[in-house]
Amino acid sequence: MKLLPTQTRIDTQDSLGHGMDAAILLVVFLAAGYGLDRLFGTIPVFMVLMTVLGSIGLFLKFKYRYDERMDELEGRRTAGRAVPDGARPGEPT
């Protein structure tokens, strides 16, 4: 008898994880830029520069992760097509 529901595992590829990753990284880069601006006594040049660099880095990270995932799924799909008729993928033929 189950009294408590079983908690489902969260996939690391989920959108919430990507959103939190992006938000935390941008805040870290923004804070680093703010610290550099205070250290050198400049207007928010470093803050803007670090935020832009962080945004570009995030875009590239998400793009490469997406491309890698799509290549993996395409490989699985083509491997499924290579299975002889009547057999299931993963079963010995």
pLDDT band (50, 70, 90) for residue 18: confident
Sequence spans of domains, the chain: 16-81
Name the nearest CA neighbour of 22 among 74, 72, 67, 63. 63
What burial class does residue 29 get, using C-beta atoms within 10 Å of its C-beta: 0-12 exposed, 13-18 middle, 19+ buried? buried
Residue tagged 């079983």 (tokens)? 6
Q: What is the pLDDT of residues 28-75, one digit of tens each?
A: 999 999 999 999 999 999 999 999 999 999 999 999 999 998 999 899
Q: What is the pLDDT of residue 11?
A: 62
Residue tagged 């490469």 (tokens)? 64
Number of other residues whose CB lies within 10 A of the CB of residue 26: 16
Rounded CA separation 74/34 (Å)? 43
Q: What is the pLDDT of residue 22?
A: 92
> What number of CA atoms fall less than 13 Å from residue 74's CA on the CB side?
6
